[in-house]
Amino acid sequence: MKKGKTALIRRFLKGCRIMFIISILSAALTAFADMVTPQIIRAAIDNAIGGNPPDFPESVMRIVNFFGGFDYLGENLWIMALAIIVVAVVKVGFQYIFRVSNTAASETLVKNMRDSLFKHIEHLPFSWHMKNRTGDIIQRCTSDIDTIKNFVSEQLSSIFRIIILLVLSVTFMTSMNLPLTLIALIPTPVIIAYSFIFHRKIGKGFEKCDENEGKLSAIAQENLTGVRVVRAFGREKYERDRFEEHNEFYTGLWISLSKLMSRFWSVSDILAGIQIMLVLVFGAVFCVEGSMSSGEYVAFISYNSLLVWPIRQLGRMISEMSKAGVSIDRVRYIMESEPEHDRPGATEPDMSGDIVFEHVSFAYEGCPAVLNDISFTMKGGSTLGILGGTGSGKSTLIMLLDRLYDLPDNCGKITVGGVNIADIKAEHLRKNIGVVLQEPFLFSRTISENIGITRSDASLSEIRAAAKAACLDDTVSAFSKGYDTVVGERGVTLSGGQKQRAAIARILTKNSPILIFDDSLSAVDTETDEKIRASLEERFGSASIIIISHRITTLSKADKIIVLEHGKIVEQGTHEELKNLGGPYQKIFEIQSGV
């Protein structure tokens, strides 16, 4: 793996390295136990039964002599049978330790990956989220994590066992019969070379599958969250056909990859079968010629069967590495995306001062300018109204003020209390700015949890007071479970007006010095609109309030109103001043008032 991938894995392994080391040692000891049994069988056939002179090391002979020597063991073969059972029990014990420690380590690894990804995603800029589809992000945090986990837990953790099996198998086989060992190793370089050839092909195939799984997840996620729109326009068949078309393409990719994998494993099986056949045939010939004993032949076959598995496992590891490499790259894309960060020396100033836009211009990446030379001053504690058509830049102004998008250099300046917002800590800035978005988002939780989400210490009485100010308390009280009513995902069980009022109540629990209402009263009737504005005026007389609306009555009591057209301020003043200027504001006022 490349250095960046390895570093990422090491980062995720924090907290579970000891468990992985235990699993690796257990796997190594299990492999060593596999090596012992064929030697016991060989000794039983050649030395205990056959009476051949032993050629074992001195340490082994001391153990044999402790049990009475080979003559005694030949008369009591149950002792050697018991030795095989003891080795098997020890092997099972180490296998158990391996499974438990490996499972604990791999699940901890998954937890670390999920926690790290979620934390990092939470700190990525709003612009990053706008460029990446939610379904694809979810797929990277689920399927790709599972792929990495499977590779680390099933492949990398077994590498020491594979190495020990290879080294010891070849060592014991060489000590018994060098020519037959060389014959057994003939297919090995072919298998390894073949695996490397398929490594790149499998990697590219899996990358395509992974990317298209993300696209399929995105389609499903969009349809589930937008189910009311799909139903409202009768687009079920269209969306189903679109999903099935992409699903068929995705399935075809996996079928093609499966065919490739089938060819890979079929050839590997043939090569492994040839190896076993060569050992059986030439081993039998050597036994007939007398250059190899029967016990050595039986032990050699056992070691050869142990040799075939690690060689094939190396091939599997190479192919699985292709998959894991793609998944690690996809996860690394998230982890290496630049998070939001404050400038050195960022401060936490008082946020109750004047808000000033000075020659602000802004364009989204790859798009024409949305704002052009915007300049205005909003006195601290006053109310600013913003009126403008679709695409005039109203919401962009708010996102720039809240630093959801950073204002590029040489594109003007935004200050609060004389401090450039770029020099204010983002957490402090957003903590002191309450925003009710044009499309309020409610979580699939209770109404009280949705309203009190901005404050962990908000009491039910405070939540109810905020709901009353937002003209929502009577509605909630009519529900059978009241404030414990669980709203559906994205608040689909509530009407548009109820969702907007719940979002307004949520901002009222925050008590921020700057409040922004981005067309957030559009779904309520005029009477409720007036009541909410009166409540805001009563509760937040000292707060700086920005109201974006298409409704003149909503803006009429603002201390100052600016009118935007095509990203420029074309008018600004009070309601009384603007309604008689003969500009866009007067035209909209006359249309809405029926003058």
At 500-529, the pLDDT tens digits run 888 888 888 877 888 888 876 665 666 666
d(CA 316, CA 318): 5
Secondary structure tally for the chain: helices H, strands E = 23, 10
Sign of the CA dihedral running 365, 367, 370, 371: positive
DSSP readout, 40-61? Answer: HHHHIIIIIIS-PPP---HHHH
Determine the Cα–Cα distance for residues 300 and 169; give it in Å rounded to an integer.
9
Among 392, 362, 423, 394, residue whose Cα is nearest residue 546: 394
pLDDT-flagged residues of the chain (< 50): none
What's the rounded Cα separation, in Å, for the pair 275 and 25? Answer: 29
Q: What are the phi and psi torsion angles at 35 (to 5°)?
A: -75, -25
Neighbours of 426 (CB within 10 A): 20
Task: Let me know: does 560 contact 382? Beta carbons within 8 Å.
Answer: yes
Query: Which DSSP helix (H) or strand (E) runs through 274?
Result: helix 236-289
Asked if residue 332 lies in contact with residue 7, where contact means CB atoms within 8 angstroms, the answer is: no
Say how far apart CA 375 and CA 390 lie, in whole Å: 20
Which ranges of 351-459 would DSSP assign to H, the alpha helix?
A: 394-401, 426-431, 447-451
Q: Which residues pair with 572 in a beta bridge?
A: 562
100, two tokens: 């438990």
Distances (CA, A) of 178 to 4, 182, 300, 303: 42, 6, 11, 13
* Rounded Cα distance, 113 and 94, in Å: 28
d(CA 572, CA 531): 26
| Predicted pLDDT of residue 36 | 83
pLDDT at 562: 92
How many angstroms separate the CA atoms of 155 and 309, rounded? Answer: 13
Output the average pLDDT for the chain. 82
Cβ atoms 261, 194 nearer than 8 A: no
Rounded alpha-carbon distances, angstroms, from residue 71 to 53, 59, 167, 299, 548: 11, 18, 32, 21, 100
Region for 487 from its dihedrals, namely left if φ exceeds 0, alpha if ψ lies in -120 to 50, beta otherwise: beta
Q: Which amino acid is at 204?
A: K
The residues that bridge with 419 in the sheet, in sequence order, are 416
Tracing tokens 């190896």 back to the chain, one arrives at: 275
Whole-angstrom Cα distance, residue 214 to residue 497?
34
Tokens 């190899």 identify what position? Answer: 292
CATH H-level, domain 3-335: superfamily: ABC transporter type 1, transmembrane domain (1.20.1560.10)
The count of residues in the chain is 595
| Separation between Cα atoms, residue 224 and residue 140, nearest integer Å | 19
The Cα 196–Cα 207 span in angstroms is 17
pLDDT of residue 594: 66
Measure the CA–CA gap between 435 and 319, rounded to whole angstroms.
Answer: 50
Phi, psi of 354 (to 5 degrees): -65, 145
Q: Rounded to whole angstroms, how far apart are CA atoms 137 and 130?
A: 12
| Domain residue extents for the chain | 3-335, 355-593
Buried b (16+ CB within 10 A) or exposed e, 4-25: ebeebbeebbeebeebbebbbb
CATH of domain 355-593: 3.40.50.300
* Distance from C-alpha of 329 to C-alpha of 214, rounded to nearest angstrom: 14
Q: Which of 35, 9, 23 is nearest to 97 (CA)?
A: 23
Instruction: Give DSSP secondary structure letters for 201-218.
Output: HHHHHHHHHHHHHHHHHH
Residue 510: enclosing H or E segment and its boundaries? none
Answer whether 55's CB lies under 8 Å from 61's CB: no
Could you count the other beta carbons within 10 Å of the beta carbon of residue 407? 20
